[in-house]
Amino acid sequence: MTGLEVLLVILVIVIIALIAFFLYYFFRGSSGPISLSRPMESRVDLYLDRRLDQLMEEYSLITKPKLNTFKAEKATELSEDELKVERLKRFRDEMTATLSEMEKRLDVLEAESGVD
């Protein structure tokens, strides 16, 4: 093997090690599903869920059976609310694009009419 081939092999090994490290770091400590489309939000959600469970146990706010019943009853409502939030975000993005397009058109009309 020439020196160039050895460097190439070392470079490939380093790249694989870096990818493995990033994957390990990304998934470490996660006990639930991590969404690849929104990794930070899903990790924060997992943390908040764990912390809420700890607080409820610590202060005896609610018993486990009541909590499980509540979660089962409200799971569909929560998922529907999440869908509504996503639709609202899309609407906001579309309206922002529409408003910026209208402002451009207004600027063109003002320039054509000579109004400041």
pLDDT at 31: 60
Residue 44: inside a domain, yes or no? no
Residue 10: inside a domain, yes or no? yes
Residue 89: inside a domain, yes or no? yes
Q: What is the dihedral of CA 93, 83, 30, 38, to 10 degrees?
A: -20
Residue range(s) defining the domain that contains residue 98: 76-116
Q: Structure tokens of 23?
A: 């994957």
Q: List the chain residues with pLDDT less than 70.
A: 25-36, 116
pLDDT at 34: 65
pLDDT at 45: 83
pLDDT at 27: 67
Residue 35: inside a domain, yes or no? no
Residue 4: inside a domain, yes or no? yes
Residue 83: inside a domain, yes or no? yes
Q: Structure tokens of 97?
A: 């694009």
pLDDT at 14: 95
Residue 5: inside a domain, yes or no? yes
Residue 49: inside a domain, yes or no? no
Q: What Rg value do the Cα atoms of the chain yield, rounded?
A: 26
Q: Structurally, how many domains does the chain consist of? A: 2
